Amino acid sequence: MTNREKYHFDDFTLDNYRRLIRIALERGFSFIPYTSQKDVLRKEVLWRHDVEFEPDIALKMAEIEYEEGIRATYFFQLHSGYYNLFDRHYSEVFHKIKDLGHYWGLHFDCRYWGIADEKQLDEFITLDRSYMERCLGVGLEVFSFHNTTPFTQSCLNYKYGGLINVYSSYFKKNYNYCGDSLGYWRFDRLEDVLSDENVTHLQVLTHDANWSEEVLSPRKRFKKAIHDNAERKIKSQIDGMHRLGNLVPDDCED
């Protein structure tokens, strides 16, 4: 068996992403926000994105979801080494995703603040929350932890800093879970989980850079996301220099 088969590389194209949404719809799942209380009389899915590397890819996924008539929840970082949510480009991406009808939340990084207890957790979520709300002109209701640790796994309250915790006991108890962490299905394949008659309430987690137009290994998908991001920035800067008319020739000749 090849790695492509073993790790289901073909699952992680944007075309297949659309197909997975259609399977969820065919199986009767309602796509709900985290603020919704569990309804045992219907099949429900909390369809979530932790935006880690390239919000432009998250936007492509948001557009697919919009076309398929569903709403997901996008969790954004404030302390990412890969994107700055308050850069104009990414603030616009945020608002485009929101304007497509999707929900949004804070993807909170305990390690950035060196948080050691739940009191500090309340304090710093409140701080990040107020900054994100103020800068983007939106309200926040929900957060997810970035990079779970033994400490974050012990934080099981329904809310911290006034925001709903997607890793709280409530969601662990009431919803099955399927995620694409590290670019493959570490436990069960999403397609199989969606088709499992015993799964009626589900939380799905995907990450932007784990998905691409073409079939690639997880590492190549990640590299492509980073390279595309860099290319966009290079093009933007060079186009700007052209507009100013002061672009120096790109060689060492006279």
Binding site for Zn ion (CB under 5 A): 50, 146
Rank residues 29 and 171 by Cβ distance to Zn ion and give the closer one.
171
Measured from the CB of residue 166, what is the shortest distance to Zn ion in angstroms? Answer: 12
Rank residues 178 and 199 by Cβ distance to Zn ion and give the closer one: 178
| Residue position matching structure tokens 């209701």 | 141
One-letter-per-residue 3-state SS of 175-236: CEEEECHHHCCCCCCHHHHHHCCCCCEEEEEEEHHHCECCCCCHHHHHHHHHHHHHHHHHHH
Question: Minimum distance from CB of 72 to Zn ion (Å)?
Answer: 16
Comparing CB distances to Zn ion, the nearer of 161 and 179 is 179
* Integer Cα distance of 26 and 160 in angstroms: 35
CB of 158 to Zn ion, least distance (A): 20
Rounded to whole angstroms, how far apart are CA atoms 218 and 220? 6
Residue closest to Zn ion when measured from CB atoms: 146
When the beta carbons of 27 and 172 are compared against Zn ion, the nearer one is 172
In the complex, minimum distance from the CB of residue 146 to Zn ion, in angstroms, rounded to a whole number: 4
Parallel, antiparallel or unpaired: strands 159-160 and 163-165: antiparallel
